[in-house]
Amino acid sequence: MDEAISSPLEQTIAAPAPGTMREFWRSYAQSGGALIGLALIVALLLLALFADVISPHPPNEQYRQFTLQPPMWEEGGSSNFILGTDPVGRDMLSRLIHGTRLSLLIGLISVALSLSFGVLLGVIAGYVRGPTETILMRLMDVMLALPSLLLAIAVVAILGPGLINAMYAIAIVLLPHYVRLARAAVIAEAGKEYVQSSRIAGAGALRLMFNTILPNCAAPLIVQATLGFSSAILDAAALGFLGLGAQPPTPEWGSMLAGALEFIQRAPWVVTFPGLAILITVLAFNLMGDGLRDALDPKLKR
Amino acid sequence: MALLEIEDLHVEFGSEAQPLIAVDGVDLAVDVGEVAALVGESGSGKSVTALAAMGLVEFPGRVRAKRLVFSGRDLLSLGDAQRRALVGKEIAMIFQDPLASLNPCFTVAFQLMETLRVHGTDAERSNAHARRVRALELLRLVEIPDPEARLRAFPHQLSGGMAQRVMIAMAIACRPQLLIADEPTTALDVTVQAQVLDLLLRLQREQGMALILITHDLAIVAETAQRVIVMYAGEVVETGPVPAIFEAPRHPYTQALLAALPEHNRDRARLEAIPGVVPGQYDRPRGCLLHPRCPYAVERCRRERPLLYGPSERQARCHFALDASGRPTGGWKPETRTAPSEAGA
Amino acid sequence: MLAFILRRVALIIPTFVGVTLLAFALIHLIPGDPVENLSGERGMDPARRQRLLHEFGLDRPLPVQYGAYIGEVLHGDLGSSLTTHERVLDEFLTLFPATIELAFFAMVFAVGLGLPAGILAALRRNTVADYAVMGVSLTGYSMPIFWWALLLILFFSVQLGWTPVSGRIAVEYDVATTTGFMLIDTLRAGDWAAFRSAISHLILPSIALGTIPLAVIARMTRSAMLEVLREDYVRTARAKGLPRWRVILVHALRNALIPVITVIGLQVGLLLSGAILTETIFSWPGVGNWLVHGVQSRDYPVVQGGILLIATIVISVNLIVDLLYGVVNPRIRHG
């Protein structure tokens, strides 16, 4: 969760110049893990997009006669419900597939929100310096002082439980990392010559910040955004599990695990599959994030 | 009498198919109490040769040799424990960047006394007080003022020159028979360089140990060594005594090295440089390794790799070794083309 | 050195102030009437509401309220739980040792396995051992803790019956709480059976909680060792003819530990996050569980006090880690 983002190596890396896409791809493809990650993400994306078509059943349809049916390959299972059913008779497979859509959406929105605000604040802080920067960074320090789940819970305590509020909470949790990263990158770049020459040529502050400096800080931000996805999905699942995130009957993977403890003996599949889905998705994003990091900054290659 | 004998040493790195050849069939011998200089530019393989002799070339490097004998003992057949009893005790080595070569987390005392605990006399190995006494003695021997205070210091609190003295103290702690100094002064201030060199030579004389001085700086060599071994691209290209080798170099590379010295260029506007670069992993020439850069290269040089020709104290790896006036012998005739081929930038 | 300590402490203060601000603001940011939120009473008649408003000091200007809040905090008054009516601070102190015990053993597990695993992976780089360690590590921090805990229970408690499912100790033991640490209390009471029960209850939760820190520590140790093993001073150590184990464990590891210690310290915050989830699953009576129930039952004094206290602890631990870093790295210690 936290450590996936707070890599001790928050360096500025030059983004690949246009036309070196193939160079980048060759670098990226060198790692088997990175390719697996990418493949998994593509598969998940397809699942999410075509969830309605692929799912054998509607995710919230309760089949009262078929509650707690085991998966197809076990005794008592049927091909009607390939991965079995949950305590109220909903098809596990369909719920998992729709959960993919939810998880990817959560990741996308939280990271997008957090990234845009974070970069904005970080660039301003790094460019303007002075008291604005100090106040902003102190605020970020406070946010980082709290364990991430605690902060998320605090936000949800204020906003109330629910999937949308969970997304806000997660975006807030991720925010300080992007602010710090953007600020560090801007400070490092601002001293360089091409920035000075731009400024001498008469470029205004905004233009300097966003057109000139930012593209060169893109690489570490991209890596952190990808790893942010993993964090977001794990945090959303945790909130869902605690009943503070997605509310029933929403088929979010974490909330599917809430209250699963009592079924652990009778129906272990209710416990195993949602978690497995989370694991695979988070793993995919972590693999891709690692692959991006290795491809974009050869100095960090192990 | 030979102390260290290396015969046909090969060291490679990288893939087996296209290896990076660092040392390519080197023969080297150093006598008891002798001061020999191992000279060459970066990439000549001089450091790797020394590391291989010490057994410090780790995987993925591959070392093989026909003979690797120290003080009559066959280094190739030694087990790990036996080699470690030898290395650090009988053969010691100091390196180029003394501040990076000392462990930043431990004091001078710790690092100095560690050697004594492993390789020292019986008294030193068992008695901490004996180790401390010897440590102070060593620091005084290398001319470090206020040794008691220095013992407590951490490496980052030392200057470059001081750190190198500490390295030297560690190296001679157990009275080695051979000390290898790999570019000991390159990373130091010019003012300190002479002091450290003088120290090395004085210790060499007093302790009667052999010294292999690895350097790319010919000026140092002239004042310190008795014998010079010149290396290029992993091969020995010339050996000879000082000062004969400088007065009449027999290999074109040595000649070029000397010609590039500021002392030889006093009446010129620009230093005479050797065109081209040392061959890398993928462009190792056939024939003589120097031919792309050698002003005297002819057809035979491009075809046939020369062996070391000449009497054992004065050898040169050239088909047309130079005579006393610096001209190629052996029936050499210049080619009609005027410019030597260059191996690319 | 003293200057270093003072500087670090000084840096902490604004962060701490910020946290108190956050905790203070919590009550006012929560939707609904602050009086209702703080008292737990709904639909009061206006007179009562007015009286409570005055009692809680909510009619005073915000900065004054904040000052009063800080005063109360420094006196240890964090309000009382709406559900149990116990003082928040007292409840926290009663429950905290359970969380510490859990976090401690989770850390022992994480470091005890993670450090050697990382060293092994670095020494056997690009071999099966290396890939295995890295693969397990990657899986470890890609897993949701609560699911991992459930799987562990499924396997070890349900299928194998080796470990108990929940709680700190079997129900039949009634141990006098002197320190609040179950292991110490059972030992003091001389009750071996109870001690063994306490240990068996600790095993699964510690493993569950410690898995993510284990993964991170293994990874970090590996990369730190790989870097250090390339350094010149390691070559010097070998050139001195030191035994291999000494080169690795004394010379290399000592330097590799410097970044690793920082990482270990950062795990504490993570441990507290994870404790929240782990305690829920194992019904472990610690502060994580307490906080979650507080949020779920809208027990706002608990939420406010809990957040303040936990955040304070995390900040303090980070401070200690920072200072420890100064001790471990001679360059900082001796300027």
User: Distance between CA C195 and CA B337 in Å, rounded?
Assistant: 93
Contact of C99 with chain A, judged by CB distance below 8 Å, is answered with: no
Helix (H) or strand (E) holding A281, with range, is helix A268-296
Q: What are the CA-CA distances from residue B267 to residues B127, B262, B270 (Å)?
A: 62, 10, 9
Using the beta-carbon criterion (under 8 Å), do B56 and C233 form an inter-chain contact?
no
**A166 and A184 Cβ atoms separated by less than 8 Å:** no
Q: Exposure of A181 by Cβ count < 10 A (0-12 exposed, 13-18 middle, 19+ buried)?
A: buried
| Domain limits, chain B | 2-231, 254-345
Residue pLDDT, tens place only, A11-24: 334 444 555 677 77
**C150 and A257 Cβ atoms separated by less than 8 Å:** yes
At A139 the pLDDT is: 86
Q: Give the range among B243-252, B266-275, C231-240 with minimum mean pLDDT.
A: B266-275
Residue B211 predicted with pLDDT over 90 = yes
User: Distance between CA C131 and CA A37 in Å, rounded?
Assistant: 16
Mean pLDDT per 10-residue segment, chain C (335 residues): 80 84 81 74 79 78 84 83 85 90 93 93 88 92 90 84 77 72 77 82 91 92 91 92 90 89 82 88 89 84 88 85 78 67
Q: Which residue would you say has higher pLDDT here, B269 or B39? A: B39
Contact of B150 with chain C, judged by CB distance below 8 Å, is answered with: no
Using the beta-carbon criterion (under 8 Å), do B156 and C330 form an inter-chain contact?
yes
**A270 and A87 Cβ atoms separated by less than 8 Å:** yes
Q: Number of helices (H) and strands (E), helices first, in chain C? A: 15, 0
Could you tell me how many residues make up chain C? 335
Using the beta-carbon criterion (under 8 Å), do C233 and B80 form an inter-chain contact?
no
Residue B220 predicted with pLDDT over 50 = yes
User: Distance between CA A244 and CA A28 in Å, rounded?
Assistant: 38
Characterise A149 by phi-psi region: left (phi > 0), alpha (psi -120 to 50), beta (else).
Answer: alpha
Q: Peptide bond before B60: cis, by omega within 30 degrees of 0?
A: yes
Using the beta-carbon criterion (under 8 Å), do C144 and A278 form an inter-chain contact?
yes
Contact of B92 with chain C, judged by CB distance below 8 Å, is answered with: yes
Q: Give the range among A182-191, A194-203, A243-252, B241-250 with minimum mean pLDDT.
A: A194-203
Q: What are the CA-CA distances from residue C58 to residues C35, C51, C64, C82, C202 (Å)?
A: 8, 10, 10, 18, 44
Work out the number of other CB atoms within 10 angstroms of the CB of residue A52: 12
* Portion 303-332 of C in contact with B at CB < 8 A: 329-331
Among residues of chain B, what percentage have pLDDT more than 90?
31
The dotted CATH code for B2-231 is 3.40.50.300
Chains near C, with 3+ CB pairs < 8 A?
A, B
Residue B70 phi/psi, 5° resolution? -125, 125
CA angle A175, A176, A180 (to 5 degrees): 125
User: Token pair of B68, please?
Assistant: 């690797």
**A86 and A256 Cβ atoms separated by less than 8 Å:** yes
ipTM for the complex? 0.84
* First-last CA distance in chain B: 44
Beta strands in chain B (DSSP E): 2-13, 20-31, 35-39, 62-64, 67-70, 73-74, 91-94, 178-182, 210-215, 227-232, 235-241, 315-316
Q: What are the CA-CA distances from residue A273 to residues A94, B39, C140 (Å)?
A: 12, 67, 17
Q: Model confidence at A298, in pLDDT bands (50, 70, 90)? A: low
Measured between beta carbons, the chain C residues lying within 8 angstroms of B100 are 231-233
Contact of C243 with chain B, judged by CB distance below 8 Å, is answered with: yes
Work out the number of other CB atoms within 10 angstroms of the CB of residue A30: 13
Q: A with B: 3 or more CB pairs under 8 Å?
A: no
Closest approach of chain C CAs to the CA of B50, in angstroms?
Answer: 11
Residue pLDDT, tens place only, A80-98: 788 888 888 888 888 899 9
Q: Which residues contact A256 (CB under 8 A, 6 or more apart)?
A: A86, A95, A99, A240, A270, A274
User: Distance between CA A281 and CA A276 in Å, rounded?
Assistant: 9
Work out the number of other CB atoms within 10 angstroms of the CB of residue C172: 8
Measured between beta carbons, the chain C residues lying within 8 angstroms of B103 are 233, 236-237, 251, 254-255
Q: How many CA atoms lie within 13 A of A68 on its CB side?
A: 10
Could you tell me how many residues make up chain A? 302
User: Distance between CA A200 and CA A203 in Å, rounded?
Assistant: 7
| Max CA pair span of chain C | 86
**C321 and C266 Cβ atoms separated by less than 8 Å:** yes
Amino acid symbol at C300: Y
Contact of C240 with chain B, judged by CB distance below 8 Å, is answered with: yes
Least Cα distance to B108 among B130, B138, B83 occurs for B138
At C335 the pLDDT is: 54
Q: Which residue would you say has higher pLDDT here, C22 or A45? A: A45
Residue pLDDT, tens place only, A128-152: 888 888 888 888 888 887 888 888 8
Measured between beta carbons, the chain C residues lying within 8 angstroms of B104 are 233, 255, 330-331
Angle between helices A92-128 and A268-296 (to 10 degrees): 40
Using the beta-carbon criterion (under 8 Å), do C238 and B170 form an inter-chain contact?
no
